Amino acid sequence: MKLPLLLLLAFMAAPATALAHEFPTSGRVEYVLECMQKHDGKYEFLYKCSCVIDRIAEAMPYEDYVAMSTALRDQTLAGERGGVFRDAPTVKVMADKYKLIQANANKACHVQQR
């Protein structure tokens, strides 16, 4: 009788671990749609891009993903507003770290960087 109880407790504890870096569905969908668009909207990238965002989610919490991906994306802003993202050393570090995580995820999921 003790073994089934232990298995039940282990099973109930497992989802808490899996949700440690849970991303909201909308965040995952946005990433996948953007990724697919970069690859000419090909259906095969639905799975490949989903794989990439899953790998990114394993590597960092959602809040870090938002901050790092924003740091990278907004480095291309023109003018003074973009300078905040281009010139601040901490923002550059965040953008570089995100680029590395994303590059590793792309490689693992067979997605060429565009």
pLDDT digits (tens, 9 = 90+) for 27-41: 999 999 999 999 999
> What pLDDT, on the 0 to 100 scale, is given for residue 84?
73
Taking only the tens place, the pLDDT of each residue in 47-75 is 999 999 999 999 999 999 999 999 888 88
> What pLDDT, on the 0 to 100 scale, is given for residue 12?
54
For the cut 50, the answer to whether the pLDDT of residue 17 exceeds it is: no
For the cut 80, the answer to whether the pLDDT of residue 26 exceeds it is: yes
- Domain positions in the chain: 22-108
What stretch of H or E contains 53? helix 44-59
Q: C-alpha distances in angstroms, 21 versus 41, 86, 93?
A: 28, 28, 21
Report how far residue 36's alpha carbon sits from residue 81's, in angstroms, rounded to the nearest whole number.
28
Q: What is the pTM of this model?
A: 0.77
* DSSP assignment letter at 20: G
> What pLDDT, on the 0 to 100 scale, is given for residue 16?
45
> What pLDDT, on the 0 to 100 scale, is given for residue 23?
95
- Cα atoms in the Cβ-side hemisphere of radius 13 Å centred on 50: 7
* Closest by Cα among 99, 87, 14, 12 to 52: 99
